[in-house]
Amino acid sequence: MNVFVLLGLGAAAGLLAGMFGVGGGFLATPLLIFVGIPPTVAVASQANQVIANSVSSLQVQWRRGNVDLRMGLVLLLGGMVGSTAGVSLFTYLKRIGQIDFVIAVLYVVMLSTIGVLMLFESLRTYLRRRRNPEAPRGKLHTHYLVHRLPLKLRFYKSKLYISALLPLGIGFAIGVLSAILGVGGGFVLVPAMIYILGMPTAVVIGTSNFQILFVAANVTFLQAATNGTVDIVLAMLLILGGVVGAPIGSRLAAKLPGVVLRGLMAILILTVASELLTELLRTPSSFYSLGSREVLP
Amino acid sequence: MTRLAIALALACLLASHAAAQGPRIEPPAGGLVGPTLGGPVDSSVPPSVPSQSTTPELVVDLSRPRVSITSAFQGESILLFGMFDPPGEIVVVVAGPPGRETVLRKQRFLGLWLNIGRQAFDDVPAYYAIAASQPLQRLLARSAGGEILSLEDRLSSVRSVGQREHQELTKFRLGLVEVKRQEGLYPPAIGQVTIQAHRLFRVELPFPSRLPEGVYDVRTYLLRDGKIVAAVSRPLPVGKVGFNAQLASWATHHGPLYGLGAIVLALMAGWIGGAIMRRL
């Protein structure tokens, strides 16, 4: 595999990450698959890259005091269990030869959901702003069934008194996602923290990065130990590309209005999703493929 | 450079041969007589092969002693060359290490293509190529021993794991060959063995970029009237070298340690990268 292709890919993912303020992993992994990296290696090495991404973001957030440590630890507990279960599931799927298919299907489902949601959201905001520039904001805090669950904990920094089961469950789901798709999961975790947990926006990024860092480390370790699918060289190229790409992306982003930016992002995500879907629907050129080779002693 | 080495080696071969054939001159101790160049005589060749006399009828060498897979490895061609006592025909068989291969078959399910069928085969050579100085069919039809196998013959002997209908098994076996062909691991026809001056022969052995590691067996046969009169076997090690090999070996033999290393490297890269980028 050409080193410069991978570096460029890392830079492109970093650029997008910087532009849209997300990890970029959920776009980088499909791109890696498109250029011919085996999906299992793409996912596991991407998890390795996520570590670098979140530590450099956490550096800043921690200094600013934007990490709700208690919430982060509860999320992390769920995340550790989820990612460990996720890697076991990954190993099982790999053994029965279905992992590539599952990765592709999950990416299609996830990307198209996010893409459609983002597209609608940005269109709605755009239309509403044109009609009524001073639109009233919705309620900050709503109370659902969620607040009646047991095991309530007080989260001072987030100014919340909610059941610990909720962040545990969210952490678990993100952990599974992280293990199978190699993503940090920030693009799911952040909205979940804001809309489901009702956390204040200021601490959301820092806290999510805290959880993502350790979950990604757990995934990297387990993938390397059980499946041997982590490629350090690939991960380092992606990291290097990201370091260069991200600041350029964030500078570009500053020049564009948020609605336009989110609209563009949505279109990009949907394009990648439809490309993955076509791969699944298209009649393959060869019906046969080989699983991993075992040399008997 | 390689050309020169080959030319020199051939010259030596010729010289030693001439010395052996010509008036009896005591060869110098440890001189360049056939067996040194021809490599060890294979002990696994069945007793049907006549034992080699002091003057070997067949000497073989390779332009490289091994295939080294570096990170920039794009496949490689190795020249096999040698000399034999005429008359006769030459057949070269190159086989990679045997192993278990699992063949997956895609089928349509709810409009999506996914792997539904799978079949494992044991004793599948990682690589298999055969070349001859005459059309193979004719040579093999006349060789009664069944020692030299065409790819089809070789694969008909692989053992399927588990039970399956015969017709289905054949489909999977054909699928296996199809994939291996695409990867260049079962080259359908490596160039013919060319014979010069009735006694020198050479053939290029092509190896693709995604080459399984292991010790390959390069076997050269001298046939006379459909009978094997001499055979020389040369092991050809194929392996990763350098930094690549080190990393790959860590990844497979020390997975947990490799994982920890990956984490530490990513932490450092992220930390330093982040710090630098904020300064700019």
Q: What is the pLDDT of residues A248-265, one digit of tens each?
A: 877 777 787 777 777 888
CA angle, corner B142, sides to B138 and B144, nearest 5?
140
Is residue B131 within 8 Å of B123, Cβ to Cβ? no
Domain residue limits, chain A = 3-132+143-281
Nearest to B60 by CA among B217, B215, B168: B217
Q: Quick check: B251 and A230 CB within 8 A? A: yes
Contact status, residue A107 vs residue A27, Cβ threshold 8 Å: no
User: Poorest-confidence range of A126-140, B63-77, B95-109, B196-210?
Assistant: A126-140
Query: Is cis: bond before B87, omega within 30 of 0?
Result: yes
Q: Which residue of A has its CA nearest to B214?
A: A295
Q: How many helices (H) and strands (E) does chain A have?
A: 10, 3
Letter string b/e over residues A181-213, b meaning 16 or more CB atoms within 10 A of that residue's CB: bbbbbbbbbbebbeeebbbbeebbbbbbbbbbb
How many Å apart are CA B176 and CA B123, to the nearest integer? 13
| Closest C-alpha among B233, B218, B200 to residue B11 | B200
**Residue of higher predicted confidence among A183 and B26:** A183
The C-alpha atoms of residue A81 and residue A88 are separated, in whole angstroms, by: 11
Report the distance separating Cα B256 and Cα B243, nearest Å: 19
Q: What angle do CA A264, A265, A271 make, to 5 degrees?
A: 90
What pLDDT digit, counting tens, does each position of B201-228 carry? 999 988 988 888 889 999 998 888 878 8
Backbone phi, psi, residue B61, to 5°: -145, 160
Band (pLDDT 50/70/90 cuts) for residue B39 is: very low
B219 Cα to chain A: minimum distance (Å): 21
Residue A219's closest chain B neighbor by CA? B259
B118/A292 CB distance under 8 A? no
Of A21-35, B82-96, B235-249, B254-268, minimum mean pLDDT range:
A21-35
Look up tokens 């006694």; give the residue. Answer: B199
Taking 80 as the threshold, does the pLDDT of residue A156 lie above it?
no
- Percent of chain B's residues with pLDDT above 90: 12
d(CA B99, CA B37): 30
- Can you say whether the dihedral through the CA atoms of A257, A207, A242, A270 is positive or negative? negative
Structure tokens at B178: 């199809």
Q: What's the pLDDT at B31?
A: 37
What average pLDDT does the structure give for chain A? 82
What's the pLDDT score for residue B47? 45
Pick from B98, B262, B275: CB nearest A235: B262
Residue B4: pLDDT over 70: no
Which one is predicted more confidently, A193 or B190? Answer: A193
Buried b / exposed e over B7-30, threshold 16 CB at 10 Å, is: eebbeebeebbebeeeeeeeeeee
- pLDDT of A173 reads 92
Tens digit of pLDDT for each residue in B125-159? 889 988 888 877 777 766 555 677 777 777 777 77
What mean pLDDT comes out for the span B178-197?
83
DSSP state of A287: S
Higher pLDDT, B279 or B269: B269
- Contact of B280 with chain A, judged by CB distance below 8 Å, is answered with yes
Is B146's Cβ below 8 Å from some Cβ in A?
A: no
Residue B189 confidence class, pLDDT cut points 50, 70, 90: low
Three-class SS of residue A57? helix
- Chain B: give the shortest CA distance to residue A197, in Å: 29
3-state SS class at B144? coil
Residues of B in contact with A283 (CB under 8 A): 113
For the segment A258-286, what is each residue's pLDDT rounded down to a tens digit?
777 778 888 888 998 898 888 888 877 77
Q: What is the pLDDT of residue A133?
A: 55
Interface contact flag, B266 A293, Cβ < 8 Å: no
Q: How far apart are CA A82 and CA A171, in angstroms?
A: 7
Single out the residue of B231, B42, B45, B48 nearest to residue B145, CA to CA: B48
User: Does the beta-carbon distance from A55 to B274 stay under 8 Å?
Assistant: yes
Extended beta strands in A98-244, E state: 152-155, 160-163
> How many angstroms separate the CA atoms of A211 and A51, rounded?
11
How large is the ipTM? 0.80
* pLDDT score of A144: 55
pLDDT of A184-228, one tens digit each?
A: 888 788 888 888 888 887 788 888 888 989 999 999 999 888 888
Q: How many CA atoms lie within 13 A of B260 on its CB side?
A: 3
Whether residue A289 has pLDDT greater than 50: yes
pLDDT at A84: 94
Q: Report domain extents, chain B.
A: 40-238, 241-280
When scoring B112, B158, B247 by the number of chain A Cβ atoms within 10 A, the one with the most, hence best to mutate, is: B112
Residue A279's H or E segment, with its range, is: helix A258-281
**In Å, how far is B121's CA from the nearest CA of chain A?**
10
Confidence at residue A175, expressed as pLDDT on a 0 to 100 scale = 93
Residues 214-243 on B with a CB inside 8 Å of A are: 214
Chain B residue numbers with beta carbons less than 8 Å from the beta carbon of A40 are: none
**Which pair of tokens denotes residue A206?**
């820092």
| Most confident of the ranges A178-187, A240-249, B18-27, B212-221 | B212-221
Residues A58-99 have pLDDT tens digits of 888 888 888 888 889 999 999 999 999 999 998 898 888 788
Tens digit of each residue's pLDDT (9 = 90 or more) over A28-59:
888 888 887 888 888 889 888 888 888 888 88
CA distance B127 to A216: 38
Q: What is the mean pLDDT of residues B85-95?
A: 87
Q: With an 8 Å Cβ cutoff, are A236 and B126 in contact? A: no
| Contact flag B263-A51 (C-beta cutoff 8 Å) | yes
**Which tokens hold the place of B201?**
């022969």
Name the pairing type of β-strands B200-207 and B194-196.
antiparallel
pTM tops 0.80, yes or no: no
Which is more confidently placed, A51 or B115?
A: A51
Does residue B114 belong to the interface with chain A, where contact is any CB pair within 8 Å? yes
Q: Which amino acid is at A114?
A: I
